[in-house]
Amino acid sequence: MEDSSPGLHQHHHHLSKKKRSDSNPRRRTSLSLSLATMFRPIEQSNEGLLFQQQQQHEDYDSPAWQQPGAEPGYDPDLPDGGHASMPSLSVPCDITVIDFSAERMVKRHFDNEAFIAFLHRPKEEWACCRWINVNGLSWDVIQAVGSKKGLHKLALEDVMNLRNRTKADWYPNHAYIVLTLLKLIHPVEANNESPSEKADVQTSSPASPLRFLRRIFHRRRRQPDQPETEKGGLPPPLPPPPAQRSSSTTLLPRSLHRFHASGNEARTAMMERESLLASRNMAVSAEQVSIFLTSDNTAVSFFEASAADVEKPMVTRLSTAGTILRASCDASLLVQALLDAIVDLALPLTTVYSDVLGDLELDVLTSPSISQSRSLYLCIAEINKMLRFLQPVDGLVNALRDHRSSDRNATSDRRNGGEEGVIVSSVTCTYLGDVLDHCIVICDALQQLKQSSEDLIGLIFNTISATQNESMRQLTIVTIIFLPLTFITGFFGQNFTNFPELHQGIWYFWACAVPTAVATVLILMHDMIYSWFVRLFRRKRILSIRKRARVAPWPRRR
């Protein structure tokens, strides 16, 4: 009984405490509210944080890449490439197919539907080599080429993804090459727009970046040339529906600042507006180029908008009998010619930027200002981005040269069906050295311009700092000279009742002020005065040595 009494007492105390708490409903309600308030914000804050992170992930996710963990590549045998979330990419393309041999060359033009139907036709026996040049990226064309040529689905994914690095990938029956094309373009006025684009501008919002891009960087599409024998009908292009409006911009040149750009639209627009070439009515265009070299001696090239710039000189060479392209009938040499034309399009950029930087250099040497450093920074930013796309071409060329074939007759054996796989002939490796030389020349010129811009920025700040230091030195000299005069003037200006020196006249003041000022200057500026005399002595000595060297005759040989 004694052992159980404490437990009973505690239980009774607990019950009495519970009754007291139950008897106070306000206290019970406040306690429950405090507990709810304690735990509810944690749940709400966690949910809000997770939801905000998901929104940020979607905002900063690039539409060119698939979702994390998805099946890589696009299968050309499936309508949607094996991905239901594949971005819509459908535009009218300008497609040129050139079949040639040492004796003959035939060029054909197609639109999307006519080209897909043409691929099902067998290649003529006389055609030793074929080049398929596609201007514009459309999934139906990419799918047809990939299914016909057996292109790997990873390579097709890289064709549709416009944020690739410069590289060369090797597959069992083809090689995939991707690089960036840089060229100089001239913006046109808004009155040169087509009627469909004028209607699009009127229906779009005033602040739409698509409207600005179409108005500034639109270039007229070339009219297809007349082929030799055949021609696929090319209907007039129709404006894409609103759902595919974003994909239709691939036919327009993209400025350098919008290529591989971040999601900060304000920065991109500002960099385009403040570009050094904008005042000269010029701009730099950048786009991705994808090239396939297949084992059946075929080259396939995909351009976003600039296929005509490369096709024109290539057609001239292929149309002339006796050229190395016609004589060799080698698809790898055709790929080398494409790379050479793409790299050569960047040569005018070095001349333009040299001219722009020369004008800035004259302004810096004549009248340096802080605003010039801003222009030089923009110049360095543009050069850095161009170097980012041009420098990897060296590795691309070396990768192609590493896959050279040791057999000189490998190309002819492949045409006869006796050689399999991708072949880079020895002749192609020789001419790839020319592409490498051009790329090195361009990169070296851009590096020199970049270094000159950095040196000019340093010169601006050094000149402004030296000017400010000189101004401070002059103010210091004036202050040192007038410091004793100010002190003596203040001393004589005191209201003393007994000051007999005031009756000595004005010359008494100068008799006291001038020696004091001279002594103060000698004491405070003795280092500066000493350095000035040393420089003067050295200068006179150098001049005397030069004078004696000019007068003295040259020693004669015995």
Q: State the Cα torsion 360-366-370-371 to the nearest 10°.
A: -40
Give CA separation, 493 vs 486, 497, 515, in Å.
Answer: 10, 12, 19
So what's the pLDDT on residue 65? Answer: 55
Low-confidence spans in the chain with pLDDT less than 50: 1-23, 25-63, 190-207, 218-250, 417-418
The CA distances from residue 416 to 366, 422, 432, in Å, are: 69, 14, 25
In 213-319, beta strands by DSSP E: 283-294, 298-303
SS (H, E, C) 411-449: HHHHHCCCCCCCCECHHHHHHHHHHHHHHHHHHHHHHHH
Q: Please give the Cα distance from 55 to 44 (Å, whole number).
A: 16
Asked, for residue 69, whether it belongs to a domain, the answer is no
**DSSP character at residue 17:** H
Is residue 324 domain-shared with residue 190, that is, in the same domain? yes
Helix (H, G, I), strand (E, B) or coil at 235: coil
- Name the amino acid, one letter, at 15: L
Whether 517 maps to a domain, the answer reads: yes
pTM of the model: 0.70
Query: Is 85 part of any domain?
Result: no
One domain, residues 443 and 493: no
Q: What does the block give as tokens for 100? A: 């040639």
Going by DSSP bridges, is the β-strand pair 298-303/167-170 parallel, antiparallel, or unpaired? unpaired
**Do the domain assignments include residue 528?**
yes
The CA dihedral of 123, 125, 126, 132, to the nearest 10 degrees, is 20
What one-letter code names the amino acid at 282? Answer: M
CATH number, residue 369? 3.30.460.20
Same domain, 32 and 176: no
d(CA 83, CA 72): 9
Quick check: is 10 in a domain? no
Look at residue 118 and tell me if it is in a domain.
yes
Same domain (yes/no): 444, 481: no
Of 96, 85, 105, 196, nearest to 141 (Cα)? 96
Are 234 and 111 within 8 A, CB to CB?
yes
Domain that holds residue 38: 28-60
d(CA 411, CA 419) in angstroms, rounded, equals 8
User: In this structure, what token pair is assigned to residue 13?
Assistant: 């105390």
Is there a single domain that holds both residue 426 and residue 282? yes
Task: Verify that 353 and 232 share a domain, yes or no.
Answer: yes
Q: Which residues contact 182 (CB under 8 A, 6 or more apart)?
A: 256, 284, 285, 286, 345, 346, 349, 386, 389, 390
Is residue 68 situated within a structural domain?
no
- Report the DSSP pairing between strands 167-170 and 129-135: unpaired
Can you give the pLDDT at residue 85?
A: 59
What's the confidence (pLDDT) of residue 406?
62
Cβ neighbourhood burial of 464 (10 Å; 0-12, 13-18, 19+) = middle
Cα diameter, the chain? 139
User: Structural domain tally of the chain?
Assistant: 3
- Are 126 and 98 members of one domain? yes
Same-domain check for residues 518 and 487: yes
- 15 part of a folded domain: no
